Amino acid sequence: MASLGKKLGLLVGAGLLLSGCMQATTYQETSAAALKPRDKELLSKVSYVKTPVPEAFRRAIVDYHRKEAPGSIVVDSDNHYLYYVQEGGKAIRYGITVGEEAMAWSGIAKVGAMTEWPAWHPTPSEISRLGVPKFVAPGPDNPMGSRAIYLYSGGKDTLFRIHGTNQPEYIGASISSGCIRMTNEDVIDLYNRVKMGAIVVVLEPKHGDSPYNSKMALQGGSSSWQ
């Protein structure tokens, strides 16, 4: 019994340490009220498998220690998180798919355009590399998903976007052509919050400082307590 009590004490202590570091509260799933009739219609027609997002990458409200202003977006590509900064030292954290290292983009941009159920216009590089058509119409299986937030710098389109995906199984991975992918439900949630002109900070590689590293998250936790 003494040994069990000691083990339980260690587990409680570990939980307190982690909660002190993160203090993450699982955020509610997108409510039906947040979805427009077209969203409900198209999301009901998707042919991809709605693979559940790993728990570590599900939408959550977390403590936020950086200095970006409320209303800003911060992308931590290293750890596969996007933060929507809120008042009071909090942020909504979303799991994302990011570009492979050779194609990833970083920098400071602004939200220059926003589109619901966008068409996809692949770049010449994507057409050559992926063998895709020049145009894919909006729809439930379009790779751009349910929403697109276009990143501009110096008044010009950077060609990088925050958008939905038809491959939710890759949330938490680095496989895209550089754009930032979210589940269709999460990008709708973000789209409903962010404003035109909002600052978007995409951190450089090796500059992510999430207390919950994505490599650990994919292994099911940050520590193994026996």
Which residues participate in catalysis according to the annotation? 163, 179
Of 45, 21, 2, nearest to 216 (Cα)? 21
Neighbours of 60 (CB within 10 A): 20
- 150's CB contacts (< 8 A; 6+ apart) are 111, 112, 113, 114, 115, 157, 161
Give the C-alpha separation, 85 to 138, whole Å.
29
Helix intervals (H) in the chain? 2-22, 37-43, 124-130, 184-193, 214-218
